[in-house]
Amino acid sequence: MSAPVFRFAPSPNGYLHLGHACSALLNFDAARRSGGRLLLRIEDIDPARCRPEFEAAVYQDLAWLGISWETPVRRQSEHLSDYRAALEELTAMGLIYPAFESRAEIARLLAQREAQAPWPRDPDGAPLYPGVAKSLSPDQRAYLRDSGVPYALRLDMAAARALVPDLGWTEHGEGPDGETGAVVARPEAWGDVIVARKETPTSYHLSVAIDDALQGVTEVVRGADLFWSTSVHRLLQHLLGLPQPAYHHHRLVLDREGRKLSKSTAATALRELRAQGATPADIRRQVGLP
Ligand code: GLU
């Protein structure tokens, strides 16, 4: 059997904090223990929020923690053609449609819906997409496109789900409510997810599913906040004929008030803790690792 392949996949839109250290160290330790490989992937598809100085800090912080990874590092922004090819496949299957609404229009539609009845929310607590774009006619779509109205591409969840009725994964770690073992995937809980954003020709879900497959990742070790995203990743893997890695979600590192850490809080940023004299061993202790 070939060696297991792990990956740590940060987005360079802020400085790494204790939660990232926990994830990165868990991946590094597991790769070492199992004689596996550790890849590093820079998830820099959001041009508005990702910055070169944050990417440079990722390398610095990880090296300081004593983590080593294989090179070359995969930077998602350099592989847009891979995501485009997948979008073409999904288009050919009739599973995606353009959605032209602006954020403000979506907010207005949601306010109308919510005034009538409780409106469903996704596992992250955001209201599901309410748009009417799915029912636009081919002529209306062509007109809006030709007029230069920007659009995102969304997955027609009902149509996708009809092709893939049974879907799940084996969880080797734990979800936010202790889910483990055989988990039933519920991609429909996310509604018609975006697969390509207006400003970038891919999305988090699409690029993660594609890259894990292209990089031969066999073990996905990441925070429990991404547990339910796995439903969407499993669906995309199924639709695109991609292999299924093993999933291990770990508990999140929380702040003193019990909240998830944020990249915008300096207090838990690794570079800040380092500047205050913390050692890599202190960081391990703080995130509960040996
Ligand atoms: N880029 C994502 C993040 O920084 C992680 C993606 C993943 O591990 O699947 O939260």
Nearest atom in ligand 1 to 8's CA: 8
What confidence tier does 197 reach under pLDDT thresholds 50, 70, 90?
very high
Asked whether residue 226 is assigned to any structural domain, the reply reads: no
Residue 267 pLDDT more than 80?
no
What lines the ligand 1 site, CB under 6 Å? 9-11, 43, 208, 222, 226
Distance 263 CA to ligand 1 centre (A): 13
- 188 and 114 in one domain? yes
Q: How far apart (Å, rounded) are the C-alpha atoms in residues 5 and 27?
A: 10
User: Could you list the residue range(s) of the whole structural domain that residue 187 is in?
Assistant: 79-205
Tell me what percent of the residues of the chain surpass a pLDDT of 90. Answer: 92
Supply the DSSP symbol for 16. Answer: -
Tell me what percent of the residues of the chain surpass a pLDDT of 70. Answer: 100
Asked whether residue 247 is assigned to any structural domain, the reply reads: no
Mean pLDDT of 26-42: 98
- 63 and 22 in one domain? yes
Residue 266 pLDDT more than 80?
no
Atom 3 of ligand 1, nearest CA residue: 10
Per-residue model confidence as pLDDT tens digits over 99-153: 999 999 999 999 999 999 999 999 999 999 998 899 999 999 999 999 999 999 9
Asked whether residue 114 is assigned to any structural domain, the reply reads: yes
Identify residue 59 by its one-letter amino acid code: Y
- 196 and 84 in one domain? yes
Give the per-residue pLDDT at 263.
83
Asked whether residue 215 is assigned to any structural domain, the reply reads: no
Report CA-CA distances (Å) from 146 to 102, 150, 155, 202, 243: 17, 10, 22, 21, 37
What interhelical angle do 204-214 and 229-240 show, nearest 10?
A: 60
Please provide the average confidence, as pLDDT, over all residues in the chain: 96
Q: What's the domain count of the chain? A: 2
pTM of this prediction exceeds 0.75 = yes
Q: How far apart (Å, rounded) are the C-alpha atoms in residues 100 and 160?
A: 21
